[in-house]
Amino acid sequence: MIKLDDIVASYTTIRGQVNAVDGVSLDIPRGHIVGVAGESGCGKTTLLKVLYGDLGFPLSLKRGTVRYGFRDGDGKEVTSSNIKEFWFRRISYVPQGSMSSLNPVVRIRKQFTDFRGRGESERGVLERVREYIRSLDLPPEALDAYPHQLSGGMRQRIMIAMATFFQPDIILADEPTTALDVVVQKGILLLLKELQERMGNTIIIVSHDMGVHYQIAHKVLVMYAAKAVEFGDSVVVFESALHPYTKMLIESLPTIGDDQRRQGVVGRPPSLWEDLQGCRFAPRCPLATELCRTKEPPLRELQPGHWVACHYADDGL
């Protein structure tokens, strides 16, 4: 279980501080693919950075901690303060646009062996890397190539291979397939899914594409304006969402073979610079009441494993 306790993460800017994640408390069960959905600016990527412990100017953790559910060598519980020591071995990160993060003047194999542990020979590691690459159905020749010689999809697969090489407990992937074609995207998502099934680890995948979550995530977290608004099994969320935002978002998506007229959500997300009171979705919500505008709804477990932050979720929207 990864426990997030009242996470407030803020960016320091010229205008002052802005909370990109504002009070998120959540227990993420192990051994699942967890999708994080939401629109741009809702705090998906920031949440992932906090989970990775990649905190540094301008991002800081103002409040709260993350507990990862394992202990370090001295028996101390690992939290956001010391997770860095476990990068790559127990937690790894596939950043956004990661297919452009390979060093263009260094061969792939060199970049693989860069982070080998002390006492391991380069040749030994390389042998294991080749074996691993082959097990993912990637051509081992790709290791001898420079990044520009590979297609975007292949580079992304290499990045995923790097992130999973040490079989970490937790893999964080930020929009791993954005900017890739759908045919390539499907291959990469199925690769991630297969890896998860093989290793039984936790994969947290951020995507703005609801279809991606429906296809591979076991659980979905929906974020809106720096808050977690709904969390539950993806099948349940897609079939019977409890939060009006999730419901409207899913209903707005056109599907092939369905000629129903779709409506977008009226209005726009609030600016995080404003002093926000009550439910942040209230200005766009057709069901909002005075209570919604004044009192913030807490994220509560309405049905076993299905969490929602809405005052009226139990009334059946």
Partner 1 sequence: MKTILRAQHLSKTYGLGGLFRRAKINALDDVNLNVESDQPVVVSLVGESGSGKTTFAKVVLRLVEPSAGRVVVFDQPVAGKGVKPDKREFLSIVQPIFQNPFEAFSSYRNVDSYLMETAIQVNGLKQAEAVEVVADALASVGLKYEDVKGKYYNQFSGGELQRISVARALIPHPNVVIADEPVSMIDASLRMNVINLFLSLKEEFRISFLYITHDLATAYYVSDHVAVLYRGNVVEFGPARLVLTDPRHPYTRLLLDSIPLTNRKWESKQIVLADIETKEYQLEGCKFRNRCPYAREICGRQRPPLVKLEDGREVYCHMVAGHF
Q: Which residues bind partner 1 (CB under 8 A)?
A: 39-40, 151, 153, 181-187, 189-190, 208-212, 214-215, 238, 245, 248-250, 252-258, 261-266, 268-269
In this complex, which beta carbon is closest to partner 1, that of residue 169 or of residue 230? Answer: 230
Q: What is the largest CA-CA distance in the chain?
A: 67
Residue 184 CB, nearest approach to partner 1 (Å): 7
Residue 197 CB, nearest approach to partner 1 (Å): 12
Residue 22 CB, nearest approach to partner 1 (Å): 19
Residue 225 CB, nearest approach to partner 1 (Å): 12
In this complex, which beta carbon is closest to partner 1, that of residue 40 or of residue 315? Answer: 40
Kindly provide the b/e burial profile for residues 248-266, where b requires at least 16 CB atoms within 10 angstroms of the residue's own CB. bbbeeeeeeeeeeeeeebe
In this complex, which beta carbon is closest to partner 1, that of residue 259 or of residue 290? Answer: 259
Here the tokens at position 59 are: 């991002």
In this complex, which beta carbon is closest to partner 1, that of residue 5 or of residue 209? Answer: 209
Q: Where are the alpha helices (DSSP H) in the chain?
A: 44-52, 108-113, 122-135, 152-164, 182-199, 210-216, 234-239, 244-251, 290-294
Residue 181 CB, nearest approach to partner 1 (Å): 4
Length of the chain: 317
Whole-angstrom distance, CA of residue 248 vs CA of residue 310: 14
First-last CA distance in the chain: 31
Whole-angstrom distance, CA of residue 288 vs CA of residue 282: 5
In this complex, which beta carbon is closest to partner 1, that of residue 89 or of residue 193? Answer: 193
